[in-house]
Amino acid sequence: MGKFKHAIAVAVLTLVAATGLYFLFNWMFDLPTAASTQAGPIDTLFQSHFIMMAILFAFIMVMMLYSVAVFRRRPGDTEDGPHVHGHTGLEIAWTVIPTLVVIGFGVYGTVILGEITQEQTNEMTVSVVGEQWAWSFEYPADDIRSNRLVLPINQPVVLELESKDVLHSFWVPEFRVKQDLVPGTVKTLRITPTQLGSYRLRCAEICGSGHAGMLAEVEVVSQADFEQFLIDSAFRYSDLSSEERGQQFYTELGCAGCHTLDGTTGVGPTWQGIYGREEALTDGTTVVVNDDYIRHSIVAPNDQIVAGFNPNIMPQDYEQRINDLQAEILASEGAELDVIADLIAFMQTLDQ
C-alpha cells in the first residue's frame, strides 16, 4: 500500500514537471515562422522530441529528488539501509523501453525525411550557386540570373545546389530544411513556400573569413509578382557593356568551339593576344590584326588564311547569322548593335 502511494506521487510530480519543461523548451527554442509545407512535419518531429525529452528528464529528476527527500535518514535512525541486489525485471525494462523509443524516433525521422524530399508534380527548378562568399540563382527556363531568390507562393520548387569552391550550406530557417553544397556534385533541396514575405538565406557551413556575410535575400511573392520579376530580370544584350556582349557572342555564336582564350591552339588560332598581333598568312604575306582584318576574317573567312591553319573550316555563314541576330535584338530590345564591334572590343581585353 505504501509503495503504491509513492508510485502515484512520483507519477503526478513527473507529469507536472514534464508539462512545465515542455513549455520551457518551447520558450527557450522559439522557432521562427513556419513558411513552407516542409516545415509542418519537421515542427511536429521537433515537438515530439521536446515531449520525449521533457518526460525523460522530469522522470529521472523526480525519482532522484523524491528518493532523496522522502527516504532521507531521520534523526535517531541509526539502522543500515536495506541491501538491494539488482532487479532483473527493472533492468530489462530500462534497456528495452529506451531502445524502442530510439528506434521509433529513427523510423519516424526516416518517414519524415522521405516525405519532405518527395518529388512533386509541376516542380519549378532553380539553380543555386554558392561561392566564397556569395549566392546566385538561375532560373534556367527563362535564362535569368539573380542575386535574390524570388519564389512564387505555393509553387513546389526544386533547388539544384552547386558550389564553385568549398563546402557551403543552404539554410533559410523559416523553411526549416537545410542542404550542404558539395563541390563537384549537384545536390537537390525541395521547398514549397507557403507564406508571403522576405526571409534570409544564410550559409550554415563555415567556409572562410567571409562566411558570416554569405547572405542572400529570399522573397516569397504572389504568382503575378513573380512573373513581373521574370520580366524585369530578363536578359538584355543592351544592358551589357560592349566587351561583355562580345564575350556573350563568343560563346553564343560558337566561336569558343574553335578559338581558345588561353593561348593553346585549337581548331583555329587562339584569341589570347589576338588584337594587334602580326599574323603570317598562307600566301606568304603578313597582316596586323586590326578592326578591318577581323571584320573581313569573320564575313569572308576563306579570303585570308592564317599560316598553319586550313581554309573551309571556319563557318562561311557568319555574316548572315550575325545580321539575323542583330535584327532580332533590334526587334526585341530596340537596340541597334554591332556584333562584330562587340567581338572586337572583347578581343581587345584578351592580351597576354
Task: Kindly state the smallest distance separating residue 185's Cβ from ligand HEC, in Å.
Answer: 32
Identify the residue among 128, 149, 314, 329 touching ligand HEC (CB under 6 A). 314
Name the one residue in this structure whose C-alpha cell is 524570388. Answer: 150
- What's the grid cell of residue 349? 581585353
211 to 240: interface string for Cu ion, x by CB under 5 A: ---x--------------------------
In the 8-state DSSP scheme, what is residue 279? Answer: E
Stretch touching Cu ion by CB under 5 A, among 210-218, 265-273, 281-289, 320-328: 210-218
| Cis geometry, peptide bond prior to residue 133 (ω within 30 degrees of 0) | yes
Q: Does 274 bind ligand HEC (CB under 6 A)?
A: yes
| H/E element, 178 | strand 178-181
3-state secondary structure of 172: coil
187 neighbors 198 (Cβ within 8 angstroms): no
Stretch touching ligand HEC by CB under 6 A, among 25-33, 88-96, 141-149, 249-257: 249-257
Nearer to ligand HEC, 60 or 280 (CB): 280
Partner from Cu ion, ligand HEC, none binding residue 289, C-beta < 5-8 Å depending on class: ligand HEC
Partner from Cu ion, ligand HEC, none binding residue 214, C-beta < 5-8 Å depending on class: Cu ion
Name the one residue in this structure whose C-alpha cell is 520558450. Answer: 27
Q: How far apart are CA 280 and CA 286, in angstroms?
A: 4
Stretch touching ligand HEC by CB under 6 A, among 89-97, 194-202, 255-263, 325-333: 255-263
Q: Does 299 bind ligand HEC (CB under 6 A)?
A: no
Q: How far apart are CA 345 and CA 244, in angstroms?
A: 9
161 neighbors 195 (Cβ within 8 angstroms): no
Q: How far apart are CA 91 and CA 84, in angstroms?
A: 13
Identify the residue among 17, 177, 201, 207 touching Cu ion (CB under 5 A). 207
Partner from ligand HEC, Cu ion, none binding residue 207, C-beta < 5-8 Å depending on class: Cu ion
Q: Does 307 bind ligand HEC (CB under 6 A)?
A: no
Taking Cα atoms as reference points, which of 35, 12, 4 lies closest to residue 194? 35
Task: Kindly state the smallest distance separating residue 266's Cβ from ligand HEC, in Å.
Answer: 8
Partner from ligand HEC, Cu ion, none binding residue 168, C-beta < 5-8 Å depending on class: Cu ion
Identify the residue among 41, 156, 273, 315 touching ligand HEC (CB under 6 A). 315
3-state secondary structure of 349: coil
Alpha helices in 29-87 (DSSP H): 39-70
Residue 34: CB atoms within 10 A of its CB come to: 17
Site residues (CB under 5 A) for Cu ion? 168, 203, 207, 214
Which residues contribute to the site for ligand HEC (CB under 6 A)?
253-255, 257-259, 267-269, 274, 279, 289, 294, 297-298, 301, 305-306, 309, 313-315, 318, 343
